[in-house]
Structure 1
Amino acid sequence: MTPEETVSYLDAKLLKAQRHLRKLDAYYEGEQPLRFLALELKQEFGERLAEMVINWPEMVADAYEARLDLTGFRFPGSTSNGVDVDEADADVWGIWQDNDMDRQAPQAHLESIALGRAYAIVGARGALVQGPPGADGDADDPFDEDTDSPLITVEHPTQCITEQDPRTRQPVSALKRWKDADGVQRATLYLPDSTRHFVRARRWVEQDRDEHRLGVVPVVPLVNRGRLLKHDGRSEFASVIPIADAANKMATDMMVSGEFHAMPRRWAMGMAREDFEDEDGNEISPFEQIAGRIWAHPKKPGEVAVGQFPESDLAVFHNTIRVLAQLAAQLAALPPHYMSFTTDNPASADAIRSSEAQMVKRVERKQTGLGADWRRVMAIALRIRDGEGWDKRARRMKVVWRDASTPTVAQAADAAVKKRQQGITTLRQTRIDLGYSPEEIRRMEEEDDLEAARDPVRQIAAELAADRPVTPPAEEPETAGVG
């Protein structure tokens, strides 16, 4: 296909996917319509019937995203393209921080979990990356002047789409489509050798292009639960949606019952409508279904009788919602204490860890998939920045994640220290296991060197701990005698 045909094809594919994505987004935001409710009931109560939304989809997505914390990158071996591996690690982490990925990456993870996928786009900073200069508001960013790092952005799946090669499973083309503040529809087409920018009038018209000659599409899908024949991923709460709809319906019914049945209702026999007046003498209707009103029957021969209906118990709604919560927790692999339907006795730490095992394993699977995606993003970023051939070590670098389980700080520290004492790990690896960032570890090592310089014994111990050759302490300069 020509570039114009490719834009039209991907545009149609994106529009087709948007309906389902907007539905999932509405469920995450708690804006979904109420299901299982009789149409007659809606018509009778009108605006007085407010929807009661228990937003379990949001809770499921947030619970998984909260355990996905990327903490660094590690190159294999001792050097990368002749550069010390520690410096290479810090170099990649610098690109990550230059792009504010500490904030962007969690957003990408959340969109991927909630909607099934998100996207990361890599390009040269200051070049035509997302559109013509000024089209996306990033061309004149003053912070860009202080860095030569490539530009990395994360994109929402309602604005971005890819077409994959069935053999390599990698994108062969990608499209980002958006509408600017003036209402003009714009699109950027990403191809292996060029990036082309289009504007829509009656059809898509190319405005400009960037011949980057990368050989790959600089767009990486971040897919959640992708399958062999379903590359676009699946929302983590897709199976919870029908149960959430049922829970919202039961919660709404509970509120209606609380209004009309849980409060005592009085009745009167032998009294007509005209017997009821307000304080101004105006006739009021006793038949309106509002709490506190009296139900009455017209006059008949005999005495007037009054009474009260027994109020309804709402426990049936509580129990139903509780069962639905248990089903949702089972499908989403959430621990029981997340849904708060456990007993009053607090569970032990071992019991809590056991209940989280299935969820932790799912998160670790996500770390593996997302790690491969972020590794590809950073490999493309290094290729764009250096302008040379691909660094094979960058393609094999390790993405470091924070532990997906919930060990206490004392437990993590105790395990790390014991490994260090037994000689299983080095001091640097111990600090990595404790969750310190590369920058924090670097500062600790600088402080270790300063302390060692002031204390020869500590210098020898630090060099032994780091497996470096021991440097003999500097001799004290001879002091000339006083004659």
Structure 2
Amino acid sequence: MPLADLTPLQWVQRLSQLHDRQMTQIQLWDAYYEGRQPLSYMAPELLQEVDDRLRQVVVFWPQLVVDALDERLDVEGFRLGGSEAASSDLWDHIWQVNDLDEESQLAHVDAISMSRAFAIVGAGDSRIDPPVITPESPEQVYAERDPRTRKVLAALKRWSEEQPDGSKEFHAALYLRDATVWFQRDSAGSPWEEADRDDHRLGVVPVVPLVNRPRLADRSGRSELASVVPLSDAACKLATDMMVAAEFHAMPRRWATGLGDDDFKDPSGRAISALSKIAGRVWATRNKDVTFGQFPEANLSNFHDSLNQLARMVAAMQGLPPTAVGLASDNPPSADAIRAAEARLVKRAERKQRVFGGSWEQVMRIALLVRDGEVPPEAMRMETLWRDPSTPTYAQKADAVTKLYAAGLLPKEQAWEDMGYSAAQIARMRAMEDDALTRLTALDLHALSTAPPTPAPQPGTPAAQAAVSGWSADAADG
């Protein structure tokens, strides 16, 4: 059956099945980011030996990789086509009202770690309320694209709500081009029933995916953790093995010959535990035939070297500076060395800005459509303004911007943006300039209006002769 002929209920069933197929992998990416991944490479025999005394040592490299990129992705405004300044309407009345300066960061983290996130646009509670924009997790939302236009054909959000009696009520929202349909059911196995419907007639699905690392043949994206997870698993295994070695081999291991079970009893005559036999600090016996000794302790430097080697591989694959993974040297690097080490990370952040910026621009266009009923032509050439992902010192940046502005190569508005000021700060500085110019003009006009009139020079005086000579010279030149 063609997708255009599917009923809303059929769409819910189709999107639910497609979403469920990817849910296991999405939840696994989330577990790696949160440090809840299962222990890998551990032999079952060793697990039985150490029993409940073994706890995995988690090396949070997946979280480090995601946060290193997210920390350099800050939206600072939107500029409409043909405009030199950022749009205060989009920033103040849509972006800030929806708390997207904070919520957008959550979307970036989910997109980088779990391959994609979503933003859903809807109408406010009343006609005068601004559009509602909510970033959404890929654990709850799934969208299907048109294979020809690559635009979203339909999207589904599923969630559950706990009832006072402890049971759960399941809900779903189906987003289509001309309508949004809500469903609900009492249990996970019961059929969906339509609960409400909104025929908005927008002509576009109000759900925008924020996709990380899309490919031509796979628009669903790829997690940034795909390349670091094997190295993280190996590091967790080595770190856990190091703790096991510290438990059994880092301390000197003692041995004794000629001891019997009667020698391992407390003063009351009760047998002591096996752990006390192993870790007891003092061994003593009245048996003269017993011989004591100890094995040399283990050296844990091999674990340190292996972990450092894995850290170098993570830094090389993800473009992280060595200091980000703990590879610090005794001699602090110079400023140029720091910038060179961050070059790849900065470039990767700029690539993320370009991809995510296109999605946020589409979100703002749909918000304008919901609010105004149309998208102005200049909004089709919208540009997302991002904070500079590099980390130059403030003095270096100010010096470079000042020289470009003084040479006439940079207008003042662009100089403000290059210095990292937000759209709100630039608007406030522009208002300060206009206010200062207004006060200066008012003072000049007041000075001219209150100044005493200049008396005309008397005939025969030097001033009059000079004025006549100047007029004659001007007339002769004319």
Looking at structure 2, the residues matched to 213 and 390 of structure 1 have their Cα atoms a distance apart, in angstroms, of 14
Pair 1:309 & 2:307 matched:
no
Specify the alignment match of 2:50 in structure 1. 45
**Residue of 389, 399, 412 corresponding to 2:384:** 399
Looking at structure 2, the residues matched to 395 and 473 of structure 1 have their Cα atoms a distance apart, in angstroms, of 45
Aligned 8 A contact 1:111 1:118 in 2: yes
Specify the alignment match of 1:82 in structure 2. none
**Residue of 9, 13, 33 corresponding to 2:38:** 33
Looking at structure 2, the residues matched to 373 and 10 of structure 1 have their Cα atoms a distance apart, in angstroms, of 21
Task: Report the aligned-residue RMSD.
Answer: 2.4
Looking at structure 2, the residues matched to 219 and 295 of structure 1 have their Cα atoms a distance apart, in angstroms, of 71
Shift of 1:356: 1.2
Shift of 1:249: 0.7
1:109-120 → structure 2 map (5 Å cutoff): 109-120=108-119
Shift of 1:278: 2.3
- Residue 451 of structure 1: SS of its match in structure 2? helix
- Residue 455 of structure 1: SS of its match in structure 2? helix
Pair 1:231 & 2:214 matched:
no
Pair 1:220 & 2:208 matched:
yes
Shift of 1:149: 1.4
Specify the alignment match of 1:278 in structure 2. 266
Query: 1:207-264 deviations in whole A, cap 9, x for unaligned?
Result: 2111111111010000000111111111111111111111111111101111111011
Alpha carbons of 1:296 and 1:156: their partners in 2 closer, same or farther (altered >3 Å)? farther
**Residue of 20, 24, 27 corresponding to 1:22:** 27
Looking at structure 2, the residues matched to 295 and 22 of structure 1 have their Cα atoms a distance apart, in angstroms, of 51
Shift of 1:280: 3.2
Task: Please tell me the residue identity of whatever aligns with 1:353.
Answer: R
Specify the alignment match of 1:60 in structure 2. 65
Task: Please tell me the residue identity of whatever aligns with 1:233.
Answer: G
Looking at structure 2, the residues matched to 181 and 394 of structure 1 have their Cα atoms a distance apart, in angstroms, of 41
Specify the alignment match of 1:101 in structure 2. 100
Task: Please tell me the residue identity of whatever aligns with 2:449.
Answer: P
**Residue of 156, 162, 177 corresponding to 2:137:** 156
Shift of 1:478: 4.4
Pair 1:11 & 2:44 matched:
no
Pair 1:324 & 2:302 matched:
no
Query: 1:1-20 deviations in whole A, cap 9, x for unaligned?
Result: 11110111001111111111
1:370-389 → structure 2 map (5 Å cutoff): 370-387=356-373, 389=374
Looking at structure 2, the residues matched to 379 and 35 of structure 1 have their Cα atoms a distance apart, in angstroms, of 46
| Bigger CA radius of gyration | 2
Alignment gaps of 5+ in structure 2 = 1-5, 454-478
Looking at structure 2, the residues matched to 214 and 70 of structure 1 have their Cα atoms a distance apart, in angstroms, of 27
Aligned 8 A contact 1:65 1:106 in 2: yes
Shift of 1:390: 2.3
**Residue of 335, 350, 353 corresponding to 2:339:** 353
Shift of 1:289: 7.2
- Residue 279 of structure 2: SS of its match in structure 1? coil
Alpha carbons of 1:294 and 1:75: their partners in 2 closer, same or farther (altered >3 Å)? same
Pair 1:90 & 2:88 matched:
yes
Specify the alignment match of 2:354 in structure 1. 368
Aligned 8 A contact 1:267 1:296 in 2: no
Shift of 1:333: 1.6
Instruction: Please say which of residues 199-208 and 407-416 is displaced more in the overlay.
Output: 199-208
Q: Percent identity?
A: 48
Alpha carbons of 1:478 and 1:304: their partners in 2 closer, same or farther (altered >3 Å)? closer
Aligned 8 A contact 2:81 2:380 in 1: no
Alpha carbons of 1:48 and 1:117: their partners in 2 closer, same or farther (altered >3 Å)? same
Looking at structure 2, the residues matched to 382 and 287 of structure 1 have their Cα atoms a distance apart, in angstroms, of 69
Pair 1:249 & 2:234 matched:
no
Task: Please tell me the residue identity of whatever aligns with 2:143.
Answer: T
1:79-228 → structure 2 map (5 Å cutoff): 86=85, 89-94=87-92, 95-126=94-125, 148-182=129-163, 183-201=168-186, 202-228=190-216
Looking at structure 1, the residues matched to 46 and 284 of structure 2 have their Cα atoms a distance apart, in angstroms, of 23
Alignment gaps of 5+ in structure 1 = 79-84, 128-144, 460-471
Instruction: Please say which of residues 280-289 and 322-331 is displaced more in the overlay.
Output: 280-289
Alpha carbons of 1:295 and 1:260: their partners in 2 closer, same or farther (altered >3 Å)? farther
- Residue 259 of structure 2: SS of its match in structure 1? coil
Instruction: Please say which of residues 352-361 and 445-454 is displaced more in the overlay.
Output: 445-454
Looking at structure 2, the residues matched to 281 and 203 of structure 1 have their Cα atoms a distance apart, in angstroms, of 67
Looking at structure 1, the residues matched to 284 and 18 of structure 2 have their Cα atoms a distance apart, in angstroms, of 62
Shift of 1:281: 3.5
- Residue 155 of structure 2: SS of its match in structure 1? strand
Looking at structure 2, the residues matched to 177 and 332 of structure 1 have their Cα atoms a distance apart, in angstroms, of 34
Shift of 1:428: 1.8
Shift of 1:291: 3.3
Task: Please tell me the residue identity of whatever aligns with 2:90.
Answer: V
Query: 1:5-55 deviations in whole A, cap 9, x for unaligned?
Result: 011100111111111111111111101111100111112222111111111
Task: Please tell me the residue identity of whatever aligns with 1:406.
Answer: T
Aligned 8 A contact 1:266 1:309 in 2: yes
Aligned 8 A contact 2:142 2:157 in 1: yes
Looking at structure 2, the residues matched to 49 and 342 of structure 1 have their Cα atoms a distance apart, in angstroms, of 30
- Residue 227 of structure 2: SS of its match in structure 1? helix
Query: 1:358-396 deviations in whole A, cap 9, x for unaligned?
Result: 111111111000010000000110111111x32221121
Looking at structure 2, the residues matched to 303 and 30 of structure 1 have their Cα atoms a distance apart, in angstroms, of 52
Alpha carbons of 1:296 and 1:237: their partners in 2 closer, same or farther (altered >3 Å)? farther
Shift of 1:292: 4.0
Aligned 8 A contact 1:272 1:296 in 2: no
Query: 1:256-297 deviations in whole A, cap 9, x for unaligned?
Result: 111111011222222222123324332336686743468999
Task: Please tell me the residue identity of whatever aligns with 1:362.
Answer: R
Q: What is the number of residues matched between the two proteins?
A: 440
Aligned 8 A contact 2:110 2:116 in 1: yes
Shift of 1:480: 10
Alpha carbons of 1:410 and 1:3: their partners in 2 closer, same or farther (altered >3 Å)? same
Specify the alignment match of 1:413 in structure 2. 398
- Residue 96 of structure 2: SS of its match in structure 1? helix
Alpha carbons of 1:289 and 1:35: their partners in 2 closer, same or farther (altered >3 Å)? farther
**Residue of 426, 431, 437 corresponding to 2:416:** 431
Instruction: Please say which of residues 55-64 and 438-447 is displaced more in the overlay.
Output: 438-447
Specify the alignment match of 1:477 in structure 2. 449
- Residue 282 of structure 1: SS of its match in structure 2? coil
Aligned 8 A contact 2:264 2:277 in 1: no
Looking at structure 2, the residues matched to 287 and 48 of structure 1 have their Cα atoms a distance apart, in angstroms, of 11
